[in-house]
Chains A and B, each alone.
Chain A
Amino acid sequence: MPKEFVGPESDKLLGANLVPETLNGLLAGFAMAFTPEVMLYAFVGCVVGTLVGVLPGVGPLAGISLLLPVTFGLNPVSAIVLLAGIYYGAMYGGSTTSILMRIPGEAASVMTCIDGYAMTQKGRGGAALAVAAVGSFVAGTLSIVGLMLLAPPLAEFALRFGPPENFALLVLGLLVLAYMSSGSMTRSLAMAALGLLLGMVGMDTMTGLFRFEYGLSELGDGIGIVPVAVGLFGISEILISAGQSTRVDVRAPRLRELLPTRREWRASAGPIGRGTLLGFFIGIIPGPGHIISSFVSYSIERRLSKHPERFGKGAIEGVAGPESANNSATSGAFVPMLALGLPSGAVPAIMLAALMIHGIAPGPLLIQQQPQLFWAVIASMYVGNVVLLILNLPMVGLFVNILRVPYSYLYPSLLAFATLGVYAVNNSVVDLWIMGGAGLLGYVLRKLEFELAPIILGLVLAPMLELSFRQSLAMSAGNYTIFFTHPISAFMLSVALVLLLLGMRSTFTRAEGTRALASLEPSASQAQKGNP
């Protein structure tokens, strides 16, 4: 293995020797990644990940925790490459059922359901799948470049995010997303509040006290996001379409209709670029970044679009943005893990455990002490993304053919698959009841024309919002000024305040206010700068 990385200066990749060092490392990494064994595991990981990800409910987290034990017998590089492949594969696969059947393969594909499925109904399902695959590939590859070059400094920056900063970020994020609603603002807010309330179920992280669990310990970790997402979107769709006497036949497109048109490609380029940047930075910050980034990306694309009314009715931007963002966020999540040995979410935490099983203690010295591992992982991520693109593009034709299965056979299978996927994640019957309940709720709410995405968003954000708020007060002994004495938090809260004031003005004047607002959104303008 190349010894030149073991040195005191190598933890600062941003130095004069950055380029040669990175290139050397990368070459060594590729040399390692192209060994037959590592290639095989990267390939197997991608295939298994895609298959697992296609299954409703089984996302990246469930996928790699289910398959973690398989890696115990491998050497560390193969193990981590296999897990990374599963992780990426599940992210790719998650979009398939979202687009074709409106069943979110995992929580980060919820936003893809909306426009992806609308495109399928118009016969553009193949195009949506292709754009999702290409967007994921671009986002995956570019974000690895970011990971490779910027991991140590970015990780140090992420460390500055303590509870008050997280709280401010969430408040800011919520405000940005408040403009996401296409219909009535109050109706979306009602759904978001419902989601936030549902997110209160379970053990209180601050005191360990159980709330609203009614004797069911399974509710201790809260109402699962995955069963709710599958129920609200997938089961409700089955309930609505199965019983329709004049069934809208979902057309299976011909081969030349599988690929996006030139206009569709052009419309997708911007969203893919913005989604990539956005996802990467949101992914670095602790929390379920890949879910949140897909929501933020969707709302930004709608806000930037010249025809926001097309969103929800099959806008390709609504597929390209979120799918790129959630893939990019997965690489972002590796930044604190590889640079500092600190997990920024549940998936990196499992990856860290996988390394520890092999006797590698991941810490700030990982890149120095295990350069071959670091670079092999980076190289295999590049390889994995190529494998996934090659694997997924031809599969578009295959997957689209699923739509030819008569619906009276298709929907019972979907129901059984959803049951299997949701159950297998936690071995929990309670999750199956939640899925069924969410299906009924989603059915009724869709009949009444309510938006469902804000419920998921509330459910995802509620525990983080509450925890960071109360943690901040625990840190300051009850002093509310903590949110303003920390500079990052003070900055974000002031931006949020400005946004709120502008938003209130626009609701009163109902004029061009909202359009002006769009360009003021910090993440949007930042993303634009990065993607001229």
Chain B
Amino acid sequence: MLRILPAGFLILLSMAGGVAAQEAYPTRAVNLVSPYPPGGAADLTARPLAPAMERALKQPVVVVNRVGAGGAVGTQFVSTAPADGYTLMITVFSISTIPEADRVAGRKPRWNRDQFVPVARINADPTMLIVHPSTPWKSVKALVNDAKKRPNDIIFVSAGPFTVAHMAVEVFMQTAKIKMRHLPTTGGGPAMTALIGGHAFVSALSTGAVSPQAKAGKLRVLANSGYKRLAAFPDIPTLKELGYDMEVYLWTGIFARKEVPPAVVSKIRTAIGQAVKDSEFLKASAKMQMPPDYLDAPEFKTWWDKDSEMLARAIRNMPSPGK
């Protein structure tokens, strides 16, 4: 009963919404759902983007935080919301990793990637491979050589399983064919605390979090996981140019349900295309060190498929815990 009632109600609503949406989208406020709390990467991108989209769509764009279970709650919420284009989602790569992790754990995935259409990628920041300053590793090569000598001995810390910090180090380990021990924590802050406190020695965290600590000499930056060097760290090489063929990004993208009418999706695409060029949005992104790296729907789709496949492979190749 509890399960049938909402489903029936939602179907009714979505039918009504679908008809109305065809005519002149948008006629009312658009909800931009962030499955992450205020202050997280998705939310920080959404907050300045929403007013910029508002100026393009001529309707209010409201950021709604549907937080929980590492992004699963919000994504599930959007996957069952009316497919009328009034509920969009801004999220990170958990949209691809959570169903894959479910599959590996032998459970039914909570959603499938093909339930969503990618609308636009807003930004994509590489993570910085960092080590504790007391360690002898001055280069990635030194770290890899040492890790090869003592597999499963060096401890790396992440913001939790399947977070970007975990995935970046995991992909790096699989590419460099080394093994390190995983210390998961409950978020970016605790992960940074564990590294600086010397309870772990390696991690991969976001530029925004790393740069103030690096400037104070509290940690050493070895590489970034993107395709090009960063303006803030011109001397830090990418893992790619060091010969490790990998790219891992903390990206944020906008998604809609697959059933949203194409005419509506194209209106949203145009609006986002204008919003990422909005001067207010650019100013806010620069302050937060999250420069836009915009991809329109077709390019984003190709890129997202590749990124998801790479992450899924990494998850399948992980040693299964507790078994």
Contacts and interface: CB of A to CB of B under 8 A. Distances in A.
B196 A342 contact: yes
Interface string A342-375: 1110001110111011110111111000000000
A365 B186 contact: no
A218 B73 contact: yes
A206 interface: yes
B38 interface: yes
Contact of A349 (B64, B189, B199, B218): B189
Interface in B198-214: 198-200, 208, 211-213
Interface string A161-202: 111000000000000000000000000000000000000001
Contacts of A205: 160-161, 184-186
B312 interface: no
Nearest to A362: B212
Contact of A474 (B39, B76, B181, B213): B181
Interface string B54-96: 0000000001111111101100100000000000000000000
Interface in B94-148: 101, 105, 107, 110
Interface in A210-250: 210, 217-221
Interface stretch (A22-30, A65-73, A125-133, A389-397): A65-73
B186 A354 contact: no
Given A218-B73, A356-B44, A363 B161 contact: no
A349 B208 contact: no
A471 B184 contact: yes
Interface string B186-200: 110110111011111
Contacts of B149: none
Contact of B192 (A210, A342, A365): A342
A467 B321 contact: no
Contacts of A348: 189
Contacts of B194: 162-163
Contact of A359 (B153, B185, B288): B288
Contacts of B189: 342-343, 348-349, 352
A359 B190 CA distance: 21
B47 interface: yes
B208 A361 contact: yes
B199 A353 contact: no
Contact of A218 (B68, B183, B184): B68
Contact of B69 (A217, A342, A356, A363): A217
Nearest to B214: A363
B161 A206 contact: yes
A356 B64 CA distance: 20
A426 B189 CA distance: 21
Given A65-B39, A203-B69, A350-B39, A208 B64 contact: no
B281 to A, nearest CB: 12
A477 B288 contact: no
B193 A477 contact: no
A218 B196 contact: no
A87 to B, nearest CB: 14
Contact of B66 (A160, A361, A427): A427
B243 interface: no
A206 B213 contact: no
Contacts of B175: none
A475 B186 CA distance: 16
Contact of B68 (A72, A428, A474): A428
Q: How large is the interface on B (under 10, 10 to 19, 20 to 34, 35 or more residues)?
A: 35 or more
Contacts of B107: 210
B212 A365 contact: yes
Contacts of B212: 341, 361-366
B77 to A, nearest CB: 9
A35 interface: no
A475 B183 contact: yes
Given A349-B189, A364-B218, A220 B39 contact: no
Given A160-B197, A356-B208, A208 B160 contact: yes
Contacts of B152: 477
Given A358-B287, A364-B213, A365-B215, A206 B184 contact: yes
Contacts of B200: 475
A161 to B, nearest CB: 7
A409 to B, nearest CB: 31
Contacts of A350: 37-39
Contact of B183 (A69, A202, A210, A474): A474
B216 A359 contact: no
Interface in A311-361: 336, 340-344, 348-350, 352-354, 356-359, 361
A68 B160 contact: no
Given A65-B37, A69-B47, A220-B72, A207 B183 contact: no
A437 interface: no
Contacts of A163: 183, 194, 199
B155 A475 contact: yes
B322 interface: yes
A418 B185 CA distance: 32
A395 to B, nearest CB: 29
A206 B76 CA distance: 23
A159 interface: yes
A209 interface: yes
Given A206-B184, A427-B65, A363 B155 contact: no
B162 interface: yes
A355 to B, nearest CB: 10
A361 B210 CA distance: 9
A220 B70 contact: yes
A109 B223 CA distance: 46
A208 B76 CA distance: 17
Interface of B: 37-40, 44, 47-48, 63-70, 72-73, 76, 101, 105, 107, 110, 152-153, 155, 160-162, 181-187, 189-190, 192-194, 196-200, 208, 211-213, 215-216, 218, 284, 286-289, 321-322
3 nearest A-B residue pairs (beta carbon) = A220-B69, A363-B212, A353-B39
18 contacts: A65-B37, A159-B197, A161-B197, A209-B105, A210-B105, A220-B70, A221-B67, A350-B37, A354-B39, A356-B44, A357-B44, A359-B286, A359-B287, A361-B212, A363-B213, A427-B66, A428-B73, A475-B200
Given A72-B47, A356-B208, A363-B218, 16 more contacts: A65-B37, A161-B197, A209-B322, A210-B105, A217-B76, A218-B73, A220-B68, A221-B67, A340-B218, A342-B193, A349-B39, A357-B44, A357-B284, A357-B287, A363-B212, A427-B65
